[in-house]
């Protein structure tokens, strides 16, 4: 009897081929597609902003950007304009990647690859934020930029003094603890985003496999839920980055 095959689920992005010694995975291809879409939307928005007669696309996107800006303003106040390009790029890049993995057909198109002498069928595309490599890179950028602005606003001596304060043993211990928390933030940022998005995609895949006859009735509420989760996770990542940016530019008391 032929062996029954379950849904294809892999916790890591599958390698499709090598290019100049670099491993090209299905999640990397999806991320490049989303990056191209992000650049196109940004250019189209800028192009529309220069026109007298603007399209509905511009007004809808502009209203959404204004809403996100006001959320950041509640944290950053007068520094919002300085940090909004970074935070806005984070938010829209993450939400596009989160939602791209939910598009019907993404993950359903399979190609055959040869690995260790065996042929396997793997998805051609996989949501970028459903790969830990992508979320880890985003987390590292977030923490590095937080430190960069800390040095820029406070100066090298003052910013380092937050972590290496030898005025008394208590302050020294607190500073070292803060330094450890900076490293731990990379782990928490990356695994929180990856875990939520990957779990959502797995849930939809398993439902489609176990209940194919009822999938059309279940998919709409589940799809709506995952769209909401994708939005919330993008917002959580950027709002936490905004909070830590605000802390980084404040002098220690």
Q: For 203-232, what is each residue's pLDDT tens digit?
A: 777 777 676 655 556 667 777 888 899 999
- Written as one string, the DSSP assignment of 151-203 is HHHH-HHHHHHTT---SSHHHHHHHHHHHHHHHHHHHHHHHHHHHHHHHHHHH
User: What is the pLDDT, as a whole number, of residue 8?
Assistant: 66
Higher-confidence residue: 2 or 100? 100
Question: What confidence tens digit (pLDDT) does each residue in 5-41 have?
Answer: 666 677 777 888 888 888 888 889 999 999 999 999 9
| CB distance 226 to 200 below 8 Å | yes
> What pLDDT score was predicted for residue 211?
67
Give the pLDDT band of residue 97 (cuts 50, 70, 90): very high
pLDDT confidence band for 103 (50 / 70 / 90): confident
pLDDT value of position 218: 64
Q: What is the pLDDT of residue 59?
A: 92
Q: 58 CB contacts (<8 Å, ≥6 apart)? A: 45, 48, 49
Q: How confident is the model at residue 122 (pLDDT cuts 50, 70, 90)?
A: confident
Q: What does the pLDDT read at residue 1?
A: 44
Question: CA torsion angle for 89, 91, 96, 101 (degrees, to 10)?
Answer: 130
Structural contact between residues 209 and 10, judged by C-beta atoms closer than 8 angstroms: no
Residue 231: closest CA among 50, 66, 51, 102 = 102
pLDDT digits (tens, 9 = 90+) for 134-192: 999 999 999 999 999 999 888 888 878 778 777 777 877 877 888 888 889 999 999 99
As to burial, measured by CB atoms within 10 angstroms (0-12 exposed, 13-18 middle, 19+ buried), residue 194 is buried
The pLDDT, as a whole number, for residue 60 is 92
Q: How many CA atoms lie within 13 A of 110 on its CB side?
A: 9
pLDDT of residue 253: 58
Q: Where are the alpha helices (DSSP H) in 101-168?
A: 132-154, 156-161
């Amino acid at each position: 009897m032929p062996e029954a095959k379950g849904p294809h689920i892999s916790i890591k992005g599958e390698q499709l081929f090598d290019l100049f010694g670099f491993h090209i995975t299905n999640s990397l291809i999806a991320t490049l597609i989303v990056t191209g879409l992000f650049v196109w939307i940004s250019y189209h928005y800028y192009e529309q902003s220069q026109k007298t007669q603007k399209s509905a696309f511009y007004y809808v996107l502009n209203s959404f950007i204004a809403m996100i800006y006001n959320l950041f303003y509640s944290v950053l106040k007068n520094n919002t304009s300085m940090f909004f390009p970074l935070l806005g790029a984070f938010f829209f890049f993450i939400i596009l990647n989160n939602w791209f993995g939910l598009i019907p057909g993404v993950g359903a198109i399979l190609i055959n690859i040869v690995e260790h002498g065996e042929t396997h069928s793997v998805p051609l595309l996989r949501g970028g934020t459903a790969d830990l490599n992508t979320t880890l890179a985003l987390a590292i950028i977030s923490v590095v930029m937080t430190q960069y602005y800390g040095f820029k606003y406070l100066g090298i001596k003052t910013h380092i003094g937050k972590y290496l304060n030898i005025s008394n043993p208590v302050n020294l211990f607190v500073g070292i603890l803060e330094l450890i928390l900076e490293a731990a933030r990379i782990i928490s940022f990356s695994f929180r985003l990856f875990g939520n998005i990957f779990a959502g995609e797995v849930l939809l895949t398993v439902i489609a496999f176990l209940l194919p006859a009822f999938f059309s009735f279940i998919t709409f509420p589940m799809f709506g839920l995952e769209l909401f989760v994708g939005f919330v996770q993008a917002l959580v990542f950027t709002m936490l980055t905004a909070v830590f940016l605000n802390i980084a530019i404040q002098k220690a008391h």
